[in-house]
Structures are given as structure tokens and as C-alpha cells.
Amino acid sequence: PIYLDNNATTPLDPRVLEAMLPYLTEHFGNAASRDHAFGWAAKEAVDYAREQIAALINSNPKEIIFTSGATESNNLAIKGVFEMYAAKGNHIITVTTEHKAVLDTCKHLEKLGGAITYLNVNKEGLIDLNELEAAITPKTILISVMYANNETGVIQPIREISAIAHKYGILFMTDATQAVGKIPVDVEADKIDLMAFSGHKLYGPKGVGALYVRRKNPSVKITAQMDGGGHERGMRSGTLNVPGIVGLGKACELCRLEMANDAERIGKLRDHLETELLQIEETQRNGYKEHCLPHVANISFKYVEGESLMMGLKDLAVSSGSACTSASMEPSYVLKALGLSDNLAYSSLRFSLSRFTTAEQIKYAISHVQEVVEKLRNMSPHWKM
């Protein structure tokens, strides 16, 4: 099958694997062991990875906290701010289209006395900056808006959002899991206070991620969510995942060097895929095209049942517009927030390309989707024949 589901996870770049291997074998030391060369080698590798990561996002290496992934980074940032600023307030502003790692963290805080505002998005997937500003209260301690959406690829106006936050002395955090390594993300230019991202979305390994925590501004403080040996300057205890961290570092370095070329090439493939698929009658593209990740296309095929579409496309690994919950298939809440009906959300597909996607694969994907959509529509009682 052809893999076009890179927003779910990317394959490990072979160059990343190569960098990691020695740290799974001979360099097995604990980065916290100060008394011998095994520990020093591990610490050196971790320090180097911190520099590679910092270079990608224009931060200081000391501002990087290693975690197990973006879910943990989001939890650490949001819960950490909530606890640290309890005396100032309990109000957090976020958006209905955030990833569950943010939404469910906020839901958890609601049970602990948090007041959360969930901003809506317009039909293109963007928040309204006036609504954001109007939602701010004297009790607002954090604004958390994702950089780019995992389902639609829509990029929010991050610089404008952080400017609003800072005008009111509020911390700004962003879940940049889908953006880092794909488009330029600069924590200085964007004035980001806290930022979550993850290894396995940028050709690195799974189970490792980072939280950027601004140090220049002393008011950016969080409480630890994992207590123990005081690793990562006390913000995240636990023996460091040295091979994972080395992999994340190498993956970030490759993205820094290759992102511009990759984005241009992949963007052309995506545009071709999208143009061709939108030639099919009764299709629509979801999300703001002018402000979208270069490798993502989200397209709805009216009069096609979502489940049959996925079944028909067995040779194509893509994501459907539904999410499995314990009991049933629910239509995507992100697409519904853009105003899609349940049916249209179900009949949507997310294509996400990667540095390894080829023109031949896209050509095959186009003809395969064309064929399956036509076949299903011809079988559908709702389709005009």
C-alpha cells in the first residue's frame, strides 16, 4: 500500500536511525551519570541534540525540555501553567479544533476548577482575533492555539495571537506538532512562550518529544508534572531517552537543512493531487488554502459513504473524516467545526505527504481515488445517474 498518512506518523529517516544505533548499543550510558565516561558520552549526545533542535526553532538549547512526545509536552505546559499561576487566575483560552492532547487536558482542568473558553473557527478553519481578544478576562493565564491543524493543515495567525496575549501579559503556548520541521517555526519571531512538538511527526522516532519553555522572560514558569530525580532542570524527571533524543536531534537537523526544498517539491505534488481530485464532481477542499501546510490536503467527496470509501481504498493509507470512539465511528469534530455536516465529514479524506512521497505514488493515488469514488457513486441511490 501507498502511505499518505504522514500526519499520523512519518517513517523514520534512515539517517536518523543510523545516528541512533550507537546509543542503543555501545553508548548505553545514563546521561545523568557524572562519574564515568559512559555517562559523559550520553550527556554529550543529549547536549548536541539540544543544539540541533534549538537551531531548527531559533531557541536557546537551554529552553528545550525533553518529554515522551507532544501529548506529554502539551500536558506539561497547560497543567504546569495552571498550577503555577493558580494565584493569578484559572482561565485558559483555546480552540475547538485543537488536538485531544490539548482539549482533554483542558477538560481535566475544568474538573479542578479551571474555566476554559473554546474559541470557534470559521469555515476555513481560522480563529477570529477579535473574538480571542474579547474572551480575555483578568483571570486569563494562558492562550493555547495550535500552530497547524493535524486534519486540515490550516495554519493559525500565530504572530498576531501571541501579540494579543502579550498585550495583556498572558502566556502564549502553541501545539506545533504538525508545523515544526515542515514550515519555518521561529520562537523569537513568533514570540512563543511554550511550544510542544514531537519526534515521530518529523521523521524521528516515536516516544520522544520536546517542550520549548522561554527563559528570557522570567514569568514563563511551569510546575513539573513528573517528580523524581530532577532531570531537565526539575521540569521533567526521569532518565533521559538518549537514543530517542539523539534521533530527535538528528531529525531536526535534517529538517532545518532540507525543509525548504522538501516543502517546495511536496507542495507541488500536493497541489497536483488536489487539483486532480477536485476535478471530480461534487468535491470540496476543507480549510484555508492560502494558509495551509504544504503537504496536506483534506477533501470531501459528496454522495460517497465514508466507510465504503476507506474499504475501497485498501491500497492507500490515508485518514478518514471519522474518529473511532469506544462505541461508534464519530464524524471528525475538526471538520464539523468548519461547518461540515456529519455526512460530509464522514466522506472526507486526509492526504498527508512526506519527504519520501514520489510522483508515481501520487499518480496512482489520483487514479485509484477517481475510480473508487465513481464506482461507489454509481452504486449509491443518492447519486444522479
Q: Does 106 qualify as catalytic in the annotation? A: no
On whether 198 is known to bind a ligand per the annotation, the reply is: yes
On whether 317 is known to bind a ligand per the annotation, the reply is: no
List of residues 6+ apart from 94 with CB closer than 8 A: 102, 103, 106, 116, 117, 118, 119, 143, 144, 145
**Positions that interact with ligand PLP (CB under 6 A):** 69-71, 99, 101, 146, 150, 175, 177-178, 198, 209
Distance, in Å, from the CA atom of 308 to the CA atom of 306, rounded to the nearest integer, reads 6
Give residue number: closest CB to ligand PLP: 69
Nearest CB to ligand PLP, comparing residues 292 and 376: 292
DSSP-derived 3-state class of residue 74:
helix
Nearest CB to ligand PLP, comparing residues 21 and 323: 323
On whether 75 is known to bind a ligand per the annotation, the reply is: no
The closest of 264, 267, 316, 255 to 295, measured between CA atoms, is 267
Buried/exposed 19-50: b ≥16 CB within 10 Å, e otherwise: bbeebeeebebebeeeeeeeeebbbebbebbb
- Report the nearest approach of ligand PLP to the CB of residue 99 (Å): 4
Enter the C-alpha cell of residue 340: 461540515
- Report the nearest approach of ligand PLP to the CB of residue 73 (Å): 8
- Report the nearest approach of ligand PLP to the CB of residue 94 (Å): 12
Q: How is 76-124 classified by DSSP, letter by letter?
A: HHHHHHHHHTTTT--EEEEETTS-HHHHHHHHHHHHTT-EEEEE---TT
Find the catalytic residue in 106, 252, 255, 324. Answer: 324
Nearest CB to ligand PLP, comparing residues 9 and 380: 9
Q: What distances in angstroms separate CA 226 from CA 244, 362, 370, one per listed residue?
A: 19, 44, 49
- Report the nearest approach of ligand PLP to the CB of residue 117 (Å): 19
On whether 37 is known to bind a ligand per the annotation, the reply is: no
Nearest CB to ligand PLP, comparing residues 90 and 97: 97
Place of cell 466507510: 307
On whether 239 is known to bind a ligand per the annotation, the reply is: yes
- Report the nearest approach of ligand PLP to the CB of residue 19 (Å): 19
Nearest CB to ligand PLP, comparing residues 72 and 253: 72
Looking at residue 62, the DSSP 8-state letter turns out to be G
On whether 324 is known to bind a ligand per the annotation, the reply is: yes
Residues annotated as catalytic are 324
Query: Which residues carry a binding-site annotation for pyridoxal 5'-phosphate?
Result: 70-71, 150, 178, 198-200, 239
Binding-site residue ranges for [2Fe-2S] cluster: 324
Feature table: binding site = 70-71, 150, 178, 198-200, 239, 324
